[in-house]
Amino acid sequence: MFGTAVLCMDGRAHETTVNFVKDNFNVKYVDIITEAGADVIVAKFSDNEPVIKGLKTKLEISIHKHHSKVITIAGHADCAGNPIDEENHRKDILAAVDRIKSWYPEILVIGVWVGNDWKAVKVEAS
């Protein structure tokens, strides 16, 4: 019934990402966890950073209280919190997917890219 989206605070990417989760994973509700540049934060910040501790607390609620069955980590074009090109965003997204999988190996974790057209696509390793 629930999925989780970890994404940038930029509201332009929210609806697209939520709809991607609903459409692709048969969930009715999507918990949204936001940080500016969420993909780089999850990919590169230390577990000791308060932002990572807070993010994990929110993920724990989504997983254990709402029984979320999928976690998406999204990055998007024109991101002020992680102002890099698409190729490097995709690298951050894949690194973030791997990290979240290491925290919650029992949960499906998917990377998502929201491009300049504001459409969401799955990010996969090449």
Topology at the third CATH level for domain 2-123: Beta-carbonic Anhydrase; Chain A (3.40.1050)
User: What per-residue confidence (pLDDT) applies to 20?
Assistant: 97
**Interacting residues of 48 by C-beta distance below 8 A, sequence separation 6+:** none
Check whether 65 has a pLDDT greater than 80: yes
pTM of structure: 0.96
DSSP-based three-state secondary structure for 82: coil
Burial classification of residue 96, based on how many CB atoms lie within 10 Å of its CB (0-12 exposed, 13-18 middle, 19 or more buried): buried
Q: Per-domain residue ranges for the chain? A: 2-123
32-67: burial string, b at 16+ Cβ within 10 Å, e else: bbbbebbbbbbbebeeeeeebeebbebbeebbeebe
Check whether 126 has a pLDDT greater than 90: no
Q: With pLDDT > 90 as the criterion, what percentage of the chain qualifies?
A: 98
Q: Which tokens belong to 95?
A: 């690194």
Task: Read off the amino acid at residue 18.
Answer: V
pLDDT in tens, 49-64: 999 999 999 999 999 9
